A and B are shown apart, each in its own frame.
Chain A
Amino acid sequence: MRVQLESGKRSSPLREMLHTAALGLLLVPATAKAGDPTDRVDVTSLLYGEQGRTQVIEPVVRFTHLWADGQSVSAQLAVDVITGASPTGALPSGVVQTRTSASGRVITSAAGAIPMAPFQDHRVAFDGEWQKPFSRIFTSTVGGHFSREKDYQSLGVNAKLSTDLMNRLVTITIGGGINHDSVFPVGGTPIGLSDGIVVHSGSNSKEVKNVLLGGSRILTRRWMMSVNGSQTFESGYLTEPYKVISLMNPVTGAPVGQLTDKRPSTRNRSSVLLSSVYHLNDDVLYTSYRYYWDTWSVRSHTIDIKYRRDLDTDTYLEPLVRYYRQTAASFFTVGLEQGAPLPDFATSDYRLGRLQTITLGATYGTRFEDIQGDWTLRAQYMRQFGDSSPPNAIGIQRNFDLAPPVNIVAVVIGYSFGY
């Protein structure tokens, strides 16, 4: 005799009542098992290189302590060492330029080369977080952040509250954060859209407030989805002090001078992110899509797909692909025509222009027999495509690739262990 539980029989109200009561009863979270590690150390190291541009080395170490009641604190220290050069925003000069570097080497730039400015910096960042479940269904998280660079400082706090509903099928999260940043450019802060000769000293402040509302839902035994909405309000000094915009001859397009970058002092960013995690027996498929829009008229679409394949119980390989596409900010321009009235705001920073990024990569995770802990290696190749021939390029600028593709390689090595 085989018993069919969901047979055609009608379930009585009492049975339904009991079932609901039983589910409420059985969703008491499991208590931590004795012997579970209570301390965890995560170490990662990022090696980042752009072809012919910026190089970054960033080691990060994080320590986490867990209590039996689910409470945890973590502290993280990150150090970035950044060297190289980045585009100034200026247009190619149109002539072959030769100059002698400080070490006596002769540097020749092609006629269509994008002007670059060398720089080096380092950044130290400290993050702390405290997470505490304070009832069966609520978890609160508070965190703090401090980072400092030669010319930039960021100080922030954030908080988050999550609650499980509908027998833990649904999780709702609300969160928010406030950052107070200071920008104090080396050599003073230039006046926007000026020749940059007059500067004022001291620091410029920037406030960033962020709110986040998220919901996730377990759809089936192997599928969950989430939707996150976030809103960020930025105000203060949002300009890049070292970026410039070329003044060009209105006929030939040849650069005749340059003005400093100037961006609006407020920016409201909105985004909606839809994510899915799907379990295919052993493999897991992660997909997400984000739509972003802001008051600078930047709109973007991001699609991110990762596929984790478990090679055995300790080893996995996770290829990833990401596609990103953005529209240009309303005040983005390749250059300003000499003699024409100045706009209120302008930038030639390619990151605010029309842009696409394609990322291909893979993560490999493994354990070693004699060494406790998990190892991960992630390698990614990114290629950024800007607007090579923007419609407002004039004269000789039409001959040049104004946004040559940027090739980036990023490798992350991670090691984590609990004790």
Chain B
Amino acid sequence: MAIRAANEIRGSEVVLNRVEDHFVGMFEAMASPCIVLVDTDDRDEAEGLLEIAEAEARRIEQKFSRYRRGNLVDRINHSEGRPIDVDEETALLIDFAQTCYENSDGMFDITSGVLRRVWTFDGGSAVPSDNAVRGCLRHLGWWRVSWEKPTLRLPAGMEIDFGGIGKEYAVDRAAALIGASTRCSYLVNFGGDLYAARRRRGDRTWGVGIDDPARSGESALYRFDIATGGVATSGDARRYVRWRGKRLGHILNPKTGWPVIDAPRSVTVIARTCIEAGTLSTLAYLQGPEARAYLEEQGVQFWIV
């Protein structure tokens, strides 16, 4: 399937292939393979839409990545407690993150990134000392942040990170831009988080496979068809730490400063947009063993491995 081939795309290369009755475009951005499927016979159209998706993915990566020097996120994280005015788009993302924080009892927190100073998820078995974790927790918590649109004041030593929603946001944005430029059915897939729109020609739908976390990249564990909606998966088989015989995934609980014990390997959620799916799958993952019950309560379609 085309999704496999995307793993071979590297750097700034952009590839567009015709596969059966549609076009498959691929590039790499946000450290992930990015795929755009367009249900058309018109190569120029597919190419134009692929360009839109690529430009948007790169724009968002550049603007919101915490690894880019000099961007707004970098300036906020080095503001040393000084107020920073943010632009409209950043303000909306912060508003969204705040809504998630308020509605998840503080479990969804964009200031959790500081914990990565002490945790390493490389498959090893080194866990930080309780003191080190406690030290981080003093610099964590959205309640410590003052946010009055458009001014953000982040106390010194804290940092924000849109990593938890950035890729999903990029998917939805790229999808919205493509959606406004074409009448074709399309699917935007950035590293497994995806959005599909409209029924395909001949009343068909896009097939989506979910990887088996244990054998990533080899076989799809689940397959389903989707016409319109967003899909996101939380949990990553390759980024974990071993502790007392358990695999602890890289998603950290902002209250304990620890990974989630007895969490599912991965949680996949379908929602109306990719960012909603991503938020719900992350929140469910943070519930640990209660993930299933949590998602059933939300009334969404999901898969838990």
The residues of A with any CB-CB pair to B shorter than 8 Å are: 1-5, 7, 9-12, 14-15, 17-19, 21-26, 28, 30, 33, 135-136
When the two chains form their complex, are residues A5 and B228 in contact, meaning their CB atoms are under 8 A apart?
Answer: yes
User: Is B189 among interface residues, defined by CB-CB distance under 8 A?
Assistant: no
Name the interface residues of B266-281: CB closer than 8 Å to any CB of A: 270-273, 275-276, 279-280
When the two chains form their complex, are residues B180 and A30 in contact, meaning their CB atoms are under 8 A apart?
Answer: yes
User: When A1-B223, A25-B92 are in contact, do A19 and B99 touch as well, CB less than 8 Å?
Assistant: no
**B167 vs chain A, min Cβ distance (A):** 14
User: When A14-B103, A15-B300, A21-B96 are in contact, do A3 and B280 touch as well, CB less than 8 Å?
Assistant: no
User: When A2-B205, A2-B225 are in contact, do A19 and B95 touch as well, CB less than 8 Å?
Assistant: no
What is the bound-complex CA distance between A10 and B296, given in angstroms? 10
Q: Which of chain B's residues have a CB closer than 8 A to the CB of A28?
A: 88-89, 92, 173
**B201 vs chain A, min Cβ distance (A):** 14
Closest chain A residue to B89, Cβ basis = A28
When the two chains form their complex, are residues B298 and A15 in contact, meaning their CB atoms are under 8 A apart?
Answer: yes
User: When A15-B276, A18-B280, A26-B173 are in contact, do A2 and B224 touch as well, CB less than 8 Å?
Assistant: yes
Q: Which of chain A's residues have a CB closer than 8 A to the CB of B271?
A: 5, 15, 18-19
User: When A2-B225, A5-B228, A5-B229 are in contact, do A10 and B176 touch as well, CB less than 8 Å?
Assistant: no
When the two chains form their complex, are residues A7 and B301 in contact, meaning their CB atoms are under 8 A apart?
Answer: yes
User: When A10-B299, A18-B100, A24-B92 are in contact, do A5 and B225 touch as well, CB less than 8 Å?
Assistant: no
When the two chains form their complex, are residues A24 and B96 in contact, meaning their CB atoms are under 8 A apart?
Answer: yes
When the two chains form their complex, are residues A22 and B275 in contact, meaning their CB atoms are under 8 A apart?
Answer: yes
User: When A5-B229, A25-B275 are in contact, do A15 and B280 touch as well, CB less than 8 Å?
Assistant: yes
**B110 vs chain A, min Cβ distance (A):** 14
Closest chain A residue to B270, Cβ basis = A3
What is the bound-complex CA distance between A24 and B270, given in angstroms? 19
User: Is B193 among interface residues, defined by CB-CB distance under 8 A?
Assistant: no
**A348 vs chain B, min Cβ distance (A):** 55
Interface centre among A4, A19, A21, A22 (most CB of B within 10 A): A22
When the two chains form their complex, are residues A17 and B99 in contact, meaning their CB atoms are under 8 A apart?
Answer: yes
User: Is B23 among interface residues, defined by CB-CB distance under 8 A?
Assistant: no
**A24 vs chain B, min Cβ distance (A):** 6
Q: Which of chain A's residues have a CB closer than 8 A to the CB of B223?
A: 1
Q: List 15 A-B contacts (CB under 8 A).
A: A2-B225, A4-B301, A15-B276, A15-B280, A18-B99, A18-B271, A19-B271, A19-B273, A21-B99, A21-B100, A22-B96, A24-B95, A25-B92, A25-B275, A28-B89
User: Is B285 among interface residues, defined by CB-CB distance under 8 A?
Assistant: no
**A145 vs chain B, min Cβ distance (A):** 33
The 4 closest A-B pairs by CB, nearest first: A9-B299, A21-B99, A12-B298, A22-B273
When the two chains form their complex, are residues B99 and A3 in contact, meaning their CB atoms are under 8 A apart?
Answer: no
Chain B 119-158 per-residue mask, 1 if CB under 8 angstroms from chain A, else 0:
0000000000000000000000000000000000000000
Name the interface residues of B220-236: CB closer than 8 Å to any CB of A: 222-226, 228-229
User: Is B84 among interface residues, defined by CB-CB distance under 8 A?
Assistant: no
User: Is B30 among interface residues, defined by CB-CB distance under 8 A?
Assistant: no
Q: Which of chain A's residues have a CB closer than 8 A to the CB of B95?
A: 21, 24-25
When the two chains form their complex, are residues A1 and B172 in contact, meaning their CB atoms are under 8 A apart?
Answer: no
When the two chains form their complex, are residues B100 and A12 in contact, meaning their CB atoms are under 8 A apart?
Answer: no
The size class of the interface chain B forms with chain A is 35 or more
**A25 vs chain B, min Cβ distance (A):** 5
User: When A25-B169, A28-B92 are in contact, do A19 and B226 touch as well, CB less than 8 Å?
Assistant: no
Interface centre among A11, A19, A26 (most CB of B within 10 A): A26
Name the interface residues of B249-305: CB closer than 8 Å to any CB of A: 270-273, 275-276, 279-280, 297-301
**A328 vs chain B, min Cβ distance (A):** 49
User: When A18-B103, A18-B280, A19-B272 are in contact, do A25 and B96 touch as well, CB less than 8 Å?
Assistant: yes
Closest chain A residue to B56, Cβ basis = A30
Q: Which of chain B's residues have a CB closer than 8 A to the CB of A4?
A: 301
Q: Which of chain A's residues have a CB closer than 8 A to the CB of B177?
A: 30
When the two chains form their complex, are residues B273 and A12 in contact, meaning their CB atoms are under 8 A apart?
Answer: no
**A364 vs chain B, min Cβ distance (A):** 24
What is the bound-complex CA distance between A5 and B272, given in angstroms? 8
User: When A18-B103, A24-B95 are in contact, do A5 and B301 touch as well, CB less than 8 Å?
Assistant: yes
**A243 vs chain B, min Cβ distance (A):** 53
When the two chains form their complex, are residues B298 and A14 in contact, meaning their CB atoms are under 8 A apart?
Answer: yes
When the two chains form their complex, are residues B276 and A19 in contact, meaning their CB atoms are under 8 A apart?
Answer: yes
What is the bound-complex CA distance between A24 and B176, given in angstroms? 13
Q: Which of B96, B224, B298 contacts A3 (CB 8 A)?
A: B224
User: Is B93 among interface residues, defined by CB-CB distance under 8 A?
Assistant: yes
Closest chain A residue to B55, Cβ basis = A33
**B104 vs chain A, min Cβ distance (A):** 8
**A313 vs chain B, min Cβ distance (A):** 11
What is the bound-complex CA distance between A364 and B99, given in angstroms? 51
When the two chains form their complex, are residues B88 and A22 in contact, meaning their CB atoms are under 8 A apart?
Answer: no
Q: Which of chain B's residues have a CB closer than 8 A to the CB of A30?
A: 176-177, 180
**A415 vs chain B, min Cβ distance (A):** 26
User: When A2-B225, A3-B301, A12-B298 are in contact, do A136 and B270 touch as well, CB less than 8 Å?
Assistant: no
**A279 vs chain B, min Cβ distance (A):** 10
What is the bound-complex CA distance between A26 and B273, given in angstroms? 10
**A218 vs chain B, min Cβ distance (A):** 13
What is the bound-complex CA distance between A285 and B90, given in angstroms? 39
**B57 vs chain A, min Cβ distance (A):** 14
User: When A1-B223, A24-B92, A26-B173 are in contact, do A9 and B275 touch as well, CB less than 8 Å?
Assistant: no
What is the bound-complex CA distance between A2 and B222, given in angstroms? 12
When the two chains form their complex, are residues B225 and A3 in contact, meaning their CB atoms are under 8 A apart?
Answer: yes
Chain B 159-175 per-residue mask, 1 if CB under 8 angstroms from chain A, else 0:
00000000001001100
When the two chains form their complex, are residues A26 and B176 in contact, meaning their CB atoms are under 8 A apart?
Answer: yes
Interface centre among A1, A25, A135 (most CB of B within 10 A): A25
Q: Which of chain A's residues have a CB closer than 8 A to the CB of B176?
A: 26, 30
Chain B 96-111 per-residue mask, 1 if CB under 8 angstroms from chain A, else 0:
1001100110000000
Q: Which of chain A's residues have a CB closer than 8 A to the CB of B99?
A: 17-18, 21
Q: Which of chain B's residues have a CB closer than 8 A to the CB of A21?
A: 95-96, 99-100
What is the bound-complex CA distance between A12 and B280, given in angstroms? 11
**A106 vs chain B, min Cβ distance (A):** 66
Q: Which of A1, A18, A136 contacts B225 (CB 8 A)?
A: A1
Known: A15-B280, A25-B95. 8 other contacts (CB 8 A): A1-B225, A5-B228, A5-B229, A12-B298, A14-B280, A15-B300, A18-B279, A22-B96
